[in-house]
Amino acid sequence: MTYTLLVMLIGVTVVVGGILWLRLHAFLALILASFVVAALTPASALNRFFVGTSGFPVLRQLDDQTFLIETKGSNYEVGDRLVLIGLNPTSNSYDELGRVQIASLEDDETGFPVARLEDETSFRGTEEMAKLRVVPRDSFKAAIKQSETGIGSRVASGFGNACLKIGIIIAMAGIIGKCLLDSGAADRIVRSTLNMFGEGAAPVAFAASGFLLGVPVFFDTVFFLMIPLGKALHVRTKRSYLLYVLTIVCGATMAHSLVPPTPGPLAVSEELGINLGLMIFAGLIVGLGTATFGLIYASILNRYCTLPLRESPDVTLADLEETMKRSDASLPSLWLSLSPILVPVVLITGKALLDKSSSPPEWLPVSAGNWSSVRQFFAVFGDKNICMTLAALFSMLMLLFQKKPSFAELSTSMQKALSSAGVIILVTAAGGALGLSLRQTG
């Protein structure tokens, strides 16, 4: 345990030191730490990680030759041959102890399957061995082979698995965010929110807009989009610039940190095996609560602190005034602007709800056949990769309809979006590689 903690500490030190001291890119620091941790991981830890997590645990030993397996009987059939393994306290790794066969699918007392040793010799290894498991022979061989893979292969496996889970989603989210900005849809959402709440409640509007845009658009993009609006409103009202900045930050930060498909919560959802629809719903609930608290805190802080507005080379005060005077007619409608955000949320959430319901609710007038068709529709289009791709295509059509760019201009715009998303995919996948390397230490 002490050695494992030491390896983890070294890995974290490489990441933090590489970024803060050596000024390395986060991707390089994370990959370097992954290789360091993988190189320091002992063979026994790899054996426990790969072999010790395969198969099913033995609940208890019934007698010298029979064992109760902690799993459902549907995983096996009577007569299936398995390998019995146990943790050797000397080598601290799993060893093969013998061969067993499934004798019964349900024990009378517990309902778990019962396995019996194939040979006539009795097994009395429980005094020396711990954590008994039964594993199919092929799975046991595969786990042993995996535990013997090299450092580079293990790091690449962690990197590839992370890309498999989040690569397409983050790339499509980058396209959606870019199209929202270039088409004016993001500006429309902010303006509509300001009109809804009124200028006096602009902080609430900024927090709500930041939260809504923070779901499909990366945080730094939301910040750079909305800060000019906050500055422009300060030019008009001559007050509360700090409040405007803080409410923009708190709304966008909470959505970016808690609601998929932004990279952080998306990666957490995949690593922990949490249903994406449930993650979106829970993230919205928690995020709205924390954003509300942030709004209250910003209002209190604004009473005691002042943030002066300074001109910047890229945005002058004249530019800010021009931003506020821009015609609403040049922007897409609100519902069209919201559609790239709502489409994936509705499809993913719908799939999550339908996965838990085999028949339609009594209040819904849908026949069994139509209900099956609905389930099939959401099973296909509710897939996170497919619905995000659909939303990205829809946002591109919105940009073409609204701004009518040439295909060369559209290609350049998408190239910028994918370049930004690509960096995030690399960093997130490198974090996945480091996470896998750390888990393999035990």
**Of 77-86, 89-98, 342-351, 393-402, highest mean pLDDT:** 393-402
Place 351 in a pLDDT band, splitting at 50, 70 and 90: confident
User: Closest Cα to residue 14, out of 267, 151, 155, 28?
Assistant: 28
For the chain, the domains span 53-147, 163-432
200 secondary structure, DSSP code: G
CA 426, CA 424: separation in Å to the nearest integer?
5
Place 324 in a pLDDT band, splitting at 50, 70 and 90: low
Q: pLDDT averaged over the chain?
A: 82
Structure tokens at 182: 């270039």
- CATH topology for 53-147 is Elongation Factor Tu (Ef-tu); domain 3 (2.40.30)
pLDDT digit string, tens, across residues 108-158: 666 788 888 876 555 555 544 557 888 888 888 888 888 888 999 999 999
Residue 139 pLDDT: 84
Q: Are 45 and 441 in contact (CB under 8 A)?
A: yes
Place 353 in a pLDDT band, splitting at 50, 70 and 90: confident
Q: Are 85 and 95 in contact (CB under 8 A)?
A: yes
CA 141, CA 406: separation in Å to the nearest integer?
56
Place 24 in a pLDDT band, splitting at 50, 70 and 90: very high
Amino acid letter, 179: C
125-134, 241-250, 265-274, 283-292 — which is least confidently predicted?
A: 125-134
